[in-house]
Amino acid sequence: MGAPKLFEPLTVGSLTLPNRIVIAPMCQYSAVDGCMTDWHLIHLGQLALSGAGLLTIEATAVVPEGRISYGDVGLWDDNTEAAMAHTLESIRQWSDMPIAIQLAHAGRKASTDLPWMGGRQIAPGDTNGWQTLAPSPLPYDPGEHAPLEMDRAAIERVRDAFAVSARRSVRLGLDAIQIHAAHGYLLHEFLSPLSNRRDDEYGGSLENRMRFPLEVFEAVRDAVPDAYPLSIRVSGTDWVENGWDLEQTIAFARALEQRGCGAIHVSSGGLDPTQQIPVGPGYQVPLARGVKQAVSMPVIAVGLITEFEHAESIIATGDADMVALARGMLYNPRWPWHAAAHLGATVSAPNQYLRSQPHNYPGLFGE
């Protein structure tokens, strides 16, 4: 009997992952002026010992005004790069887990307070607040300060900032880059007809709405070495009538694949406060399945995947090529260990932890 599908290796570009478990990016709202702190070393360090196939650094802003909050991580200058370098250097002394980064711009959902401080949007001029940017001057919520509509210069500036952050990522030795085009942030705002009301070449038709996200992808692709693993995270639907949907997501995925995208991570929602999300275990898996049937690049499923057998079935049935966990990993940072023990697979663990191998799973950590 072969190894469980969840623990089979997978190659994306020049990177081979030891298994199909991805730790999704999770904002920690604990940076100072975009710089990682010791919290990120603790947080990412313990996840790097989990045995997952890939660890993804949280949404990392390519420009200061692209942060979701004033506590967000950035990678836009030498200071933010040096802080991340310190964190990565420390982690890599003890873990060889592949590490990816998610590059992002929050668009009209930027300039917010920390979640545990209420998470409200902070108006420009108030402490820790700034003017937001978006494809159209429409706030996420009617009570919020309206974003400025991006002109051609702003579009080019953000596109180029993604490329600069990509070059910094490669210099840091990060193993892969994911571009954030989901959850109502800037690139998703350009994609959805609910937030993009432009009448120029960046708005209107699906082709026009995809134009800026594709330009960002191409700029990042051109900034990194050949075969360097690039992926993108999308919302498969807005869960709002007449919004972004699976059919448009598939068209976008095909356009990305033609341009060399290595994998696509399918989430959903986040663009409109009137969304009606049918939350439940695996509620986004059908979106991943729909995309996977249309493209050949690996597809990542995410969303309340917490049970070992459920994760295995998603891979075994071909609904997706990888599964991503976020909050489940915060709750149980050794989830991959327990999944391997349950499914009869092996997983990597540091020498310092080998003594924890259960007697009833003698092969958990290999021979």
Q: Would you place residue 153 in the very low, low, confident or very high pLDDT band (cuts 50, 70, 90)? A: very high
Mean pLDDT, to the nearest integer, of 113-136? Answer: 97
pLDDT of residue 360: 86
SS (H, E, C) the chain: CCCCHHHCCEEECCEEECCCEEECCCCCCCCECCECCHHHHHHHHHHCCCCCCEEEEEEEECCHHHCCECCCCECCCHHHHHHHHHHHHHHHCCCCCCEEEEEECCHHHCCECCHHHCCCECCCCCCCCCCCEECCCCCCCCCCCCCEECCHHHHHHHHHHHHHHHHHHHHCCCCEEEEEECCCCHHHHHHCCCCCCCCCCCCCCHHHHHHHHHHHHHHHHHHCCCCCCEEEEEECCCCCCCCCCHHHHHHHHHHHHHCCCCEEEEECCCCCCCCCCCCCCCCCHHHHHHHHCCCCCCEEEECCCCCHHHHHHHHHCCCCCEEEECHHHHHCCCHHHHHHHHHCCCCCCCHHHHHHCCCCCCCCCCC
Check if 353 is active-site.
Answer: no
Instruction: Write down the domain spans for the chain.
Output: 5-323
Catalytic residue among 29, 70, 185, 228: 185
Q: Which residue has the higher pLDDT, 78 or 348?
A: 78
pLDDT in tens, 23-56: 999 999 999 999 999 999 999 999 999 999 999 9
pLDDT of residue 215: 98
The fold of the 5-323 domain, in CATH, is TIM Barrel (3.20.20)
pLDDT in tens, 249-262: 999 999 999 999 99
